[in-house]
Amino acid sequence: MLPLRERLTSKPWGYEEVLIETEKYVVLRMFIRKGEETSLHKHVERDEHFIVVSGSGLLVRSGVSIPVREWDVVSVRSGELHKWVALEDLEVIEVTTHPLSDLVRVEDKYGRAIQSRAFSESSDARPRSELRLRLDEANS
């Protein structure tokens, strides 16, 4: 298990906490304060599955606002633009896979960088599919 300081990440909208992390999956708790929202973003390689455990809000997915409340279950596929908007304090459990660093931020009201954390142009990191393509080309 990760040390507490690495498990709990403060965000301008609330916080994320890693509850369980294995080689196959990760379970996180997101807390979004009333009136706040996450960035509009997508993930390159991973799907996400959510259970709303308290509060109400909106999941804006591919431009469509989906009202959510306690015990609703929703999913987001890799590549789908999405963000959470809290109408009340909102607590959500997320089940996903690795890598957690594949976020591509498109829009952010808090002024955070509008780019990929994992795949910035200054980085040599590339999505797995691009690496596979390069390996296939090298072996041809």
Q: What is the CATH number of the domain that holds 12?
A: 2.60.120.10
Element (H, E) at 134: helix 128-139
Nearest residue to 92 via CA among 40, 46, 33, 39? 33
pLDDT at position 112 is 87
What is the tens place of the pLDDT at every residue in 89-128?
Answer: 999 999 999 888 888 898 888 888 876 544 333 333 333 3
Element (H, E) at 138: helix 128-139
DSSP 50-75: EEEEESEEEEEETTEEEEEETT-EEE
Would the pLDDT of 76 be above 50? yes
Q: Give how many domains the chain has, as a whole number.
A: 1
What is the tens place of the pLDDT at every residue in 42-60?
Answer: 999 999 999 999 999 999 9
Q: Is residue 94 helix, strand or coil?
A: strand
Q: Is residue 139 helix, strand or coil?
A: helix
The range of the structural domain enclosing residue 33 comes to: 4-139
